[in-house]
Amino acid sequence: MKFIANARMYAVTPDAEAAWRALLAHVAREAEVDLEYVPYPAPQPLEALWARPDLGCVFMCGYPIALGIARVTPIAAPIPAQPWAGGQAVYRSDLIVRADAPFRTLEETFGHRAGWTVEHSHSGFNAFRHHLLRYVTPARPQLYAEMIGHLVTARAILDAVVEGRIDVGPLDAYWHALIARHRPELTAHVRVVASTDLAPMPAFVAAAALPADTVARLRAAFCAAAGRPWFAQLRDMLLIDGFAPVTRDAFATTLEWDREAKAAGYTLPR
């Protein structure tokens, strides 16, 4: 079987995707694994990509990994070159509003309009729900006058805020940094009013059919990447300091947040 590679989750622009493609080619070459890079642009559903039996090295959010919506083996996760990451393979969600909005805190957005991406997303749903849960009380079970769901992508959240269709929304903070690096004009019109707690970073995963020794070679190649001569240029393009090995257990935090919200009867952000 021919196995594929893809970086759709963080291929924020054609230049960024080209950088990911180059990085994956280096990693595959070092691991002596034959991978075919297959583009998979939005709005094609990520669930369909993750369900493919020929995944060799494809980005997947940690929440669906933990939920087990596809039979995959986590390989390695990037370490964002951002102060908030602290040199770890973690990320958070930035809660953004328009730059010219009157809101100075997240609490000031309550009673207005918010949005989320898709229910299997950590950054666009689970982390946002977890963050809002601390403000929910019996006297105030609903924080927003309107909650628009199923916006699907981070870019759709960004556009909805900029265009005034929602007042606040969650944006994967690493995605936010990448789009600001490659398309700064898109983020010039938004600002962050709050950020969620840190959680495990999305990882490159393989389908169950990829042999264990092949997974091990890929994991070792990812972890060695930061020390390779080719890495420096790609680091600047992709804003990463390297990669950390990961297993399914690394994403347990996402399930804890899910259970906490559901136990409180807060199944959807509202």
What pLDDT band is residue 183 in, cutting at 50, 70 and 90?
Answer: very high
pLDDT of residue 43: 87
Phi, psi (degrees; rounded to nearest 5) at 218: -65, -45
Q: Kindly give, in sequence order, each residue whose CB lies less than 8 Å from that of residue 254, ignoring residues fewer than 6 positions away.
A: 62, 63, 66, 122, 126, 199, 200
Distance CA 70, CA 67 (A): 8
Mean pLDDT over 185-211 rounds to: 97
Summary count for the chain: helices (H), strands (E): 10, 13
Q: Is the pLDDT of residue 1 over 90?
A: no
DSSP letters of 122-135?
IIIIIHHHHHHHTT
Return the closest-CA partner of residue 36 out of 60, 49, 54, 14: 54
Cα–Cα dist 152/70, whole Å: 18
Task: Give the torsion sign (CA, 91, 92, 97, 103).
Answer: negative
In the prediction, which pLDDT does 234 show?
Answer: 97
- What percent of the chain is predicted at pLDDT more than 70? 100
pTM above 0.75, yes or no: yes
Torsion angle defined by CA atoms of residues 249, 253, 257 and 259, in that order, rounded to the nearest 10 degrees = 30
CA atoms of 171 and 49, how far apart (whole Å): 22
Give residue-wise pLDDT tens across range 228-237.
999 999 999 9
If you ran DSSP here, which 8-state letter would residue 140 be given?
A: B
Residue 47 pLDDT level (bands cut at 50, 70, 90): very high
114-150 pLDDT, tens digit per residue, is: 999 999 999 999 999 999 999 999 999 999 999 999 9
Residue type, 190: V
Q: Across residues 168-181, what is the average pLDDT? A: 98
**Mean pLDDT in the chain?**
97
Tokens of 186: 């898109």
Q: What is the pLDDT of residues 82-120, one digit of tens each?
A: 999 999 999 999 999 999 999 999 999 999 999 999 999
- For residues 161 and 113, what is the distance between their CA atoms, to the nearest angstrom? 10
